[in-house]
Chains A and B, each alone.
Chain A
Amino acid sequence: MTALEVRDLVKDYPIRSGLRSSRLRAVDHVSFTLTPGRTVALVGESGSGKSTVAKMIARLEKPTGGAIVATKDDGRPVGDREYRDHVQMVFQDPFASLNPFHTIEHHLARPLRLHGRTKGRTDTRRQVEQLLERVNLTPAHAIAPRRPHELSGGQRQRVAIARALAPGAQVVVADEPVSMLDVSIRLGVLNLLARLQREDRLAVLYITHDLATARHFSDEILVMYRGHVVERGPADDVILTPQHSYTKLLAAAAPNPEERGRSLAEGVGAIDEADLTRMFDHHTKSWHPFEKAAPIAAALANPAGGKQ
């Protein structure tokens, strides 16, 4: 069963420099599916196109090519009008994603009303408080009339998660939901997301640059590099036995105190030339050449910067 299918997604951005204009392909033929109750992690560095994928799924950007199809529980496709009920997004920066002018209640009541899920004022208030309690913001009646600046970063991100749940979404796109939070509260927010996912059988797309949380909080990992998916498979397989040289590079670069003294001595390395045109799939345990997508430009294949 599928909640959302992404097929051959392409996004080009026009670049104008002087009189010349060219295109930057930010996302190049990316395909994957999200299923209820499972998390897919999209891992990659800044500029890899992962946030662009998120924006296209949330309909904040129009795809240049390809299709995004959402499906309901009963197998019928989700129409344009219902799309926002079905697919919601949690943004990266909880300090920017809540309007400083409005109360917490406003942020939750608006989506409830917009999607016709409440009858009358008291019902709205009751549902807002229920949402706040679901994300562990208690006492809800004390939180609801506050403004974002009166809450801590972790509390704000919980409000943002509650807002995504308000329309009754089945698909949640979480774009780096904890990267702006203090480390000691990240785990709590991720676990909250996991609990809500289990309770509501949500399909979650977890976008992150942190391989460790991707491994522990998702079932499947897609590694993106320069707009391409270069490796995909079950979370543990991708992280513990990486095959693509870019994934290996990422895994080696992540701080790992268990190997103190080891990794700093050796070079950062570069990407194999053969890997510029192919993707490894752990499900089939085989390499797949990029079919429609262009190869990764060799000039960009030195992510470490500086001289090697």
Chain B
Amino acid sequence: MTNLSPLTGSADESAAAAAPVKSASAPPSRGRSGMRALLPSWSPKLVIGLVLVLGITLFAIIGPWLVGDPDAIDSIGMTEPSGEYWLGTTQTGQDVFAQLAHAVRGSLLVGLVVGILATILSALFGIIGGYVGGAVDEGFSLLSNVMLVIPGLPLVIVIAGFVPPQDRGWWTVALVLAITGWAAAARVLRAQTLSLRNRDYVAAARVAGEKRWRIVSVEILPNLLPLLASQFVFAVIAAILAEAGLSFLGLGAANSHTLGTMLYYAQNGFALQYEAWWWFGPPGLMIALFGCGLSLINFSIDEIINPKLRVPKPVAAKGGTPPPVAPPAPVTGAAAQAPPAPARAADGRDVVLSVRDLNVIYQTENPVHAVKDVSITLGRGEILGLAGESGCGKTTLAYAVNRLHRPPAEVASGSVIFHDRDGGDIDLLALDAEELRQFRWAKLSMVFQGAMNSLNPVISIHEQLDDVLTTHKPDMSKQARRERCEEVLRLVRVDPTRLDSFPHELSGGMRQRVMIAMAMLLDPQVMIMDEPTTALDVVVQRGILREIIRLRDELGFAVVFITHDLPMLLELSDRIAVMRAGEVVEYAPAEQIYERPEHPYTRQLLGSFPSLTGERGAFIRTGESSPLTKNEGAPR
């Protein structure tokens, strides 16, 4: 699995890349405003859950008014369901339906009270402890940890045993369940508060001079609402189940009707032995259905907390909104028709990768054309700079070339041909899964955005490098593999003795070097580097860039270098493609881009970087908003 760490990392990256693309070019949605932004979107899960829960709640509210006294003895016992008794009668001749109505009301009441009490307790201890910190936090944590390790049910049994049965109302049970049930939620809330406490907007509120209680209640609490709601729902389920369990054991509220007491009496009345399914079946089913309904609601709340859980809706199901582009041609067909790529690039190098008229579309509700008709030719040993701002499609392009894009992204048309060193041409878009696995990393490797953090923190550098080799070259001996790992580390100037280090033992610059070493392990012909130095300091960045140039000169691989830092590309690359809104607006040698930029956007980008040592030029502090940005303040 570890060898896949760069590849699995990519999945998240591509999803992350999709987001800015969408926000940049999708039509502005006013979004749901106010509290409605916190509500889950309608999904089948939510609808079914709500129908179940509301239906049962309605039954609990209205039911007891319509049925008679549940304790009244109406007829001889154990009659099967009939017109008169919808759910039959018990052994002692009580109406099961009437009992059920009262029992559901009792159980729901217990659930509600416990849910509210446990949520208040957990919020109090979790949020306050997490925000205040220090001794208060230590104390609260200790208390919730102690409450966690006290086994809830036995404690309840003990407490229930001390309270005489005649005094044991449903509220006693509810109180005991609330006291034993808040601790786990408090720990989750504390963790979340600890993370929220360090957000900049909380710091900003402190700088503004807000009081503590206001920061907690106005800045932090609203952001915890989805979590609180989810925990409330969970507490209700747990309470109803626990109460049923207790009552079934005969430790519950003896003098009140709950689903648990119903089951208890059914058990005592030998309902199973008499096959009186109408007696024990309905209460059991009620518990199951209500729990199921609440769980479904909880799933929907989870989707607010973690939007990644949302399943993207297939566009076909929508039907109403056709994508704005022509229906995608079959990819293989398009590739077959593509004209043969020129054997040589413009500057006389052998071509190693040619991309023709590539189109990538995010098939979401509003399809986003992230890459539009991009054609790029990469020469052997060339450094190609791909420049553009966030959301311009540069990362999507890089992923599509390596077929790392994931739904909803789709290659709609175009071709990507890899011209192998041995002379064969490989149509990347036509490879099947196994061929693709063989191809990736061996011939074309990637260094990912934020690569320093894509190393697995619990596995040594050696194992992570070694994994790539064992996957792609299974017949290599262990000794040979270790030598190769040491060799690539030496290539990126990291001491081979660091091979057995763990990622946290290396500095950011060293980790980045290790990532480049990993990309070089299989001697690829093309390396795609997606913002490999963005998170690094300039001095460290300079060292890495020097390394890349040196290695390119020694080993002759080609590099696609993706960044927004145009001045860096001007120094580093042979040719530069400037991208905006999915299109390559200018594609020319670096000197030409610097000296004679043709496209206005290229000029604008160049103008955005002040010169360090040159004349101030346009960069005198004018205090006026520059013409480049006059539209930026306008509402979208």
Interface centre among B204, B218, B538 (most CB of A within 10 A): B204
A2 contacts the other chain (Cβ, under 8 Å)?
no
Q: Are the CB atoms of A258 and B613 closer together than 8 Å?
A: yes
* Residue in A closest to B624 when the chains form the complex, CB atoms: A191
With a cutoff of 8 Å between Cβ atoms, the chain A residues found around residue B538 in the complex are 45, 209, 250, 253-255
Chain B contacts with A in 381-403, Cβ cutoff 8 A: 389-390
Decide if B207 touches A96 in the complex (CB within 8 Å). Answer: no
Which residue in A85, A145, A152, A215 is a CB contact (below 8 Å) of B632? A152
B134 within 8 A of A: no
Question: A215 contacts B623, CB within 8 Å?
Answer: no
B243 to A: closest C-beta gap in Å: 35
Chain B stretch 488-533: residues in CB contact (< 8 A) with chain A = 492-495, 507, 509-510, 513
CA distance A303 to B624 in the complex (A): 37
Question: Which one of B222, B566, B607, B611 contacts A212 once the chains associate, using CB atoms below 8 Å?
Answer: B611
Task: A192 to B620: give the CA distance in the assembly, Å.
Answer: 13
Confirm or deny: A1 has a beta carbon within 8 angstroms of a beta carbon on chain B. Answer: no
Instruction: Give a binary string over B144-180; 1 marks a CB under 8 Å from any A CB, 0 the rest.
Output: 0000000000000000000000000000000000000
Contact at A240–B613, with CB atoms within 8 Å?
A: yes
User: Chain B 536-578, CB within 8 Å of chain A: the 1/0 string?
Assistant: 0111111101110100000000000000111110111000000
For the complex formed, measure the closest distance between the CB of A103 and the CB atoms of chain B, giving whole angstroms. 8
Does residue A294 face the partner (Cβ distance < 8 Å to B)? Answer: no
| Assembled-state Cα–Cα distance A197/B622 (Å) | 11
CB–CB B204/A101 < 8 A = no
Say yes or no: B616 contacts A188, CB within 8 Å: no
Write the chain A residue with the least CB distance to B572: A264
Quick check: B633 and A160 within 8 Å, CB to CB? no
Q: Is the CB of B571 within 8 A of A98?
A: no
**Residues from chain A with Cβ under 8 Å of B604 in the complex:** 184
Instruction: Give chain B residues whose Cβ lies under 8 Å from the Cβ of A307.
Output: 493, 495
Asked whether B437 is an interface residue with its Cβ less than 8 Å from the other chain, the reply is no
Q: Which residues of B contact A264 (CB under 8 A)?
A: 542, 545-546, 549, 571-572
B347 within 8 A of partner (CB): no
Bound: A167/B207 CA distance, A: 11
Known contacts A45-B538, A188-B628; decide if A143 and B635 are in contact (CB<8 Å). Answer: yes
Among B509, B572, B625, the residue within 8 A (CB) of A306 is B509
Proximity string of chain A (137-157) to chain B, C-beta cutoff 8 Å, 1 when within and 0 when not: 111001101010111101100
Q: Which of A98, A142, A255 contacts B568 (CB 8 A)?
A: A255
Residue B612 CB within 8 A of the other chain: yes
Binary contact readout A174-190 vs B (1 if CB under 8 angstroms, 0 otherwise):
00000000111111101
Find the B residue at minimum CB distance from A199: B623
C-alpha gap A304/B509 in the complex (Å) = 8
Closest to A213 in B: B610
The reply on A280 being an interface residue by CB < 8 A is: no
CA distance A147 to B31 in the complex (A): 9
What chain B residues lie within 8 Å of A211 (beta carbons)?
A: 612
**Once bound together, how far apart are the Cα atoms of A166 and B513, in whole Å?**
46
Are A110's CB and B635's CB within 8 A?
no
- The stretch of B71-79, B195-203, B366-374, B404-412 in contact with A is B195-203
> Which residues from chain B contact A92 at a C-beta distance below 8 Å?
200
Chain B residues near A265 (CB-CB < 8 A): 546
A293 to B37, CA, bound (A): 52
A interface residues, tally (CB under 8 Å):
88
A104 to B543: give the CA distance in the assembly, Å: 43
CA distance A183 to B390 in the complex (A): 9
CB distance from A236 to the nearest CB of B (A): 9
CB within 8 Å of B: which A219-274 residues: 239-240, 249-261, 263-265, 268
In the complex the two chains form, is B632's CB within 8 Å of A263's CB?
A: no
A187: shortest Cβ distance to chain B, in Å? 5
Give Cα A215 to B610, complex, Å: 9
Q: Give Cα distance in the complex from A97 to B216, angstroms.
A: 16
CA distance A265 to B541 in the complex (A): 14
B215-256 contacts to A (CB < 8 Å): 218-219, 222-223
Query: Bound state CA distance, A91 and B208, in angstroms?
Result: 12
Given contacts A253-B538, A253-B539, A307-B495, contact A84 B207 (CB under 8 A): yes
Q: In the complex the two chains form, is A158's CB within 8 Å of B539's CB?
A: no
Partner of A216, one of B199, B200, B494, B619: B619
**Which residues of chain A have C-beta atoms less than 8 A from B621's C-beta?**
190-191, 194, 216-217
B201 touches A97 (CB 8 A): yes
Of the candidates A110, A197, A213, the one whose C-beta lies within 8 Å of that of B208 is: A110
Q: Check B270 for interface membership: any CB of A closer than 8 A.
A: no
A110 touches B210 (CB 8 A): yes
What is the chain A residue whose CB lies nearest that of B636?
A152
B633:A138 contact, CB within 8 angstroms: yes
B625 lies within 8 A of A88 (CB): no
List B contacts of A249 (CB < 8 A).
539
Inter-chain CA distance A168–B210, complex, in Å, is 16
Chain A residue contacts of B613, Cβ below 8 A? 239-240, 251, 256, 258
Residues of A within 8 A of B458 (CB): none
A115 at the interface (CB under 8 A from B): yes
User: Quick one: closest A residue to B547, CB to CB?
Assistant: A306
**One of B205, B616, B629 near A184 (C-beta < 8 A):** B629
Interface residues of B in 579-636 (CB under 8 A from A): 590-591, 594, 604-605, 607-614, 616, 619-626, 628-629, 632-636
When chains A and B are docked, how far (Å) is the Cα of A185 from the Cα of B200? 22
Cα distance A308–B629 in the bound complex, in angstroms: 42
- Complex CA distance for A138 and B507, rounded to whole angstroms: 45
**Contact across chains for A137 and B633 when beta carbons are under 8 A apart:** yes
Residues of B within 8 A of A154 (CB): 629, 632-633
B33: interface (CB < 8 Å) = yes
Contact B510 A60 (CB under 8 A): no
Residues A303 and B539 in contact, CB atoms below 8 Å apart: yes
Asked whether any CB of chain A lies closer than 8 Å to the CB of B30, the reply is yes
How far is A18 from B399 in the complex, measured between Cα atoms in Å?
A: 43
Q: How distant is the Cα of A214 from the Cα of B292 in the complex, in angstroms?
A: 60
A221–B312 alpha-carbon span in the complex (Å): 50
Known: A209-B537, A209-B538. A239 touches B623 (CB 8 A): no
A198 within 8 A of B: yes
Asked if B423 is at the interface of the complex by the 8 Å CB criterion, the answer is: no
Q: A187-B629, A306-B510 are in contact. Are A251 and B612 (CB under 8 A)?
A: yes
Set of chain A residues within 8 Å of B339, measured between Cβ atoms:
none
> Do A303 and B570 form a contact, CB below 8 Å, given A137-B633, A216-B620?
no
Rounded to whole angstroms, the CA-CA distance of A71 and B604 in the bound complex is 42
Residue B206 at the chain A interface, CB threshold 8 Å:
yes
A167 and B208 form a contact (CB under 8 A): yes
Task: Please report the C-alpha to C-alpha distance between residue A203 and residue B608 in the assembled complex, in whole angstroms.
Answer: 25
On chain B, the residues within 8 Å of A306 by CB distance are 492-494, 509-510, 513, 543, 547
How far is B203's CA from A92's CA once the two chains are assembled, in angstroms?
12
Contact A58 B623 (CB under 8 A): no
CA distance A142 to B545 in the complex (A): 46
What residues on A are CB-neighbors of B616 within 8 Å? 216
The 7 closest A-B pairs by CB, nearest first: A188-B629, A305-B509, A195-B623, A257-B570, A84-B209, A97-B200, A45-B537
Q: Would you give 30 A-B contacts (Cβ < 8 Å), ordered by A?
A: A60-B203, A99-B201, A99-B205, A138-B633, A138-B634, A155-B633, A183-B564, A184-B628, A185-B632, A186-B608, A187-B608, A188-B625, A194-B622, A198-B623, A211-B612, A212-B609, A212-B610, A215-B610, A216-B620, A250-B538, A253-B539, A253-B542, A256-B571, A260-B590, A263-B542, A268-B543, A304-B540, A304-B542, A305-B513, A306-B543
* Residue positions of A touching B, CB distance < 8 A: 45-46, 58-60, 84-85, 88-89, 91-93, 96-102, 110-111, 114-115, 135-139, 142-143, 145, 147, 149-152, 154-155, 158, 160, 163, 166-167, 182-188, 190-192, 194-195, 197-198, 209, 211-213, 215-217, 239-240, 249-261, 263-265, 268, 303-307
* Interfacial residues, chain B to chain A (CB-CB below 8 A): 28, 30-31, 33, 37, 199-201, 203-210, 218-219, 222-223, 389-390, 492-495, 507, 509-510, 513, 537-543, 545-547, 549, 564-568, 570-572, 590-591, 594, 604-605, 607-614, 616, 619-626, 628-629, 632-636
**Sample of 20 more A-B contacts, CB < 8 Å, known A114-B209, A260-B570:** A45-B537, A60-B203, A84-B208, A98-B201, A102-B219, A150-B31, A163-B208, A167-B209, A183-B564, A183-B608, A191-B623, A195-B624, A213-B610, A217-B621, A253-B539, A268-B539, A268-B543, A305-B507, A305-B510, A305-B543
